[in-house]
């Protein structure tokens, strides 16, 4: 089995953050990312980069973090009890983009690497990550392009990879209390080590680099679509679902908070504006109703 190369993973993640930020700045055409470098008292730190008030992006963040410590947080050992008593390192890039225009979907991606070590024992390590798309006013062509990008990057790694990781994404980004998916999915994977280090790392790289290939063409296509205040208010209402998922169900948020990471960086994924409305009902036959009817339950692409 190939030796685990933590430094190679870290180098890739830092470069991935740089590349994605550069591409998003070009796509926005107006605003730039500001960076906050931070350190964690218990070990590690990161680079948080946020773009606000852009021509296209209302708020977006692209974060790198590398944290380590002597004890895994409860959110990790709850799923992997064999990790108890081991030192750990966790590193990754995570991003969320909240556009101004309601016709451009919100998007999220992350790639990450965990390793837990104990003297005298083999290290336990895995990769995880994925990306997903959350449209408010969905277009079939956009969603198809998103999933086609996912299919293409998965193809070299096995005939069943897309189907498995697509279903995992549908299952993960689901709000049981609303009985709906967060969006139209994409890819999600975790605990990936069965392929060995080199192949698993290559897949993580492909997913990380695939995000802008999937997202930027949609952003470019929809950025000049005219919208009304009604469209904007529906966008803000649906952003509330994003908040509900991230604060109630998201493992990354829980891990970050339980491992005493930087709160501002962890909650960077929250939209700058959102709203809730009691017993909101969409008008039958409307574009808003189309979202509920055709796009908030798992489907094949």
Lowest mean pLDDT among 32-36, 80-84, 241-245, 265-269: 80-84
pLDDT tens digit string along 69-126?
Answer: 887 666 666 677 787 788 999 999 999 999 999 999 999 999 999 999 888 788 899 9
Does 121 appear as a known binding residue?
A: no
Tally Cβ neighbours within 10 Å of residue 170.
20
Mean pLDDT of 202-225: 98
- Record the tokens describing residue 290, joined without a space: 């189309």
Stronger pLDDT, 77 or 141, i.e. the higher one: 141
Does 147 appear as a known binding residue?
A: yes
pLDDT at 174 over 60: yes
Does 110 appear as a known binding residue?
A: yes
- Record the tokens describing residue 191, joined without a space: 């605990």
Mean pLDDT of 247-256: 87
Does 98 appear as a known binding residue?
A: yes
CA dihedral 161, 167, 171, 174 (to 10 degrees): 110
Q: Which residues are bridge partners to 174 per DSSP?
A: 181
Q: Which residues contact 21 (CB under 8 A, 6 or more apart)?
A: 33, 49, 51, 62
pLDDT at 35 over 90: yes
Query: 134, 105 in Cβ contact below 8 A?
Result: yes
Query: 129, 110 in Cβ contact below 8 A?
Result: yes
Q: What is the mean pLDDT of the chain?
A: 94
Q: Which residues contact 7 (CB under 8 A, 6 or more apart)?
A: none
Burial class (CB in 10 A: 0-12, 13-18, 19+), 193: middle
pLDDT at 38 over 60: yes
Distances (CA, A) of 111 to 10, 27, 89, 221, 273: 11, 22, 14, 26, 26
pLDDT at 11 over 70: yes
pLDDT tens digit string along 259-299?
Answer: 777 889 889 899 999 999 999 999 999 999 999 999 999 99
pLDDT at 52 over 60: yes
* Confidence bin at 254 (pLDDT 50/70/90): confident
Tally Cβ neighbours within 10 Å of residue 259.
24
Q: The domain at 6-295 falls in which architecture?
A: 3-Layer(aba) Sandwich (3.40)
Mean pLDDT of 148-161: 98
What residues are labeled active site? 108
Alpha carbons 126 and 89: distance in angstroms, whole number: 11
Query: 22, 51 in Cβ contact below 8 A?
Result: no
CA 142 from centroid of its chain's CA atoms? 18
Alpha carbons 49 and 103: distance in angstroms, whole number: 24
pLDDT at 1 over 60: no
Helical H segments across the chain, by residue range? 6-28, 74-77, 140-154, 161-172, 197-222, 229-248, 251-258, 263-266, 287-290
Does 231 appear as a known binding residue?
A: no
Does 112 appear as a known binding residue?
A: yes
- The structure tokens 């966790």 sit at 90
Alpha carbons 121 and 124: distance in angstroms, whole number: 9
Helices 197-222 and 6-28 meet at what angle, rounded to 10? 10
- Structural domain spans, the chain: 6-295
Does 108 appear as a known binding residue?
A: yes
């Amino acid at each position: 089995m190939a030796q685990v190369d933590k430094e190679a993973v870290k180098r890739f993640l830092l470069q991935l953050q740089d590349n994605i930020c550069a591409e998003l700045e070009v796509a926005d055409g107006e605003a730039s990312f500001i960076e906050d470098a931070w350190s964690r008292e218990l070990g590690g730190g990161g680079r948080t980069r946020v773009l606000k008030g852009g021509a296209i992006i209302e708020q977006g963040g692209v974060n790198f973090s590398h944290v380590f410590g002597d004890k895994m947080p409860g959110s990790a050992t709850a799923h992997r009890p064999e990790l108890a008593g081991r030192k750990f390192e966790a590193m990754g890039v995570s991003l969320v983009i909240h556009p101004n225009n309601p016709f451009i979907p919100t998007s999220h991606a992350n790639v990450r690497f965990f390793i837990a070590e104990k003297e005298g024992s083999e290290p336990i390590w895995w990769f995880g990550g994925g990306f997903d798309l959350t449209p408010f006013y969905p277009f079939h062509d956009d969603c198809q392009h998103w999933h086609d990008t996912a299919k293409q990057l998965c193809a070299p790694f096995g005939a069943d990879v897309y189907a498995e990781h697509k279903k995992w994404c549908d299952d993960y980004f689901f709000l049981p209390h609303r009985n709906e998916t967060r969006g139209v999915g994409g890819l999600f994977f975790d605990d990936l080590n069965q392929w060995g280090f080199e192949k698993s790392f290559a897949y993580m790289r492909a997913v990380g680099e695939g995000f802008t290939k999937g997202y930027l063409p949609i952003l470019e296509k929809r950025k000049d679509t005219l919208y009304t205040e009604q469209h904007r208010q529906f966008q803000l209402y649906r952003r509330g679902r994003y908040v509900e998922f991230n604060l109630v169900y998201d493992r990354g948020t829980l891990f970050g908070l339980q491992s005493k990471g930087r709160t501002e960086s962890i909650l960077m994924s929250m939209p700058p504006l959102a709203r809730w409305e009691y017993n909101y009902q969409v008008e039958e036959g409307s574009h808003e109703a189309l979202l509920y009817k055709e796009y908030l339950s798992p489907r094949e692409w």
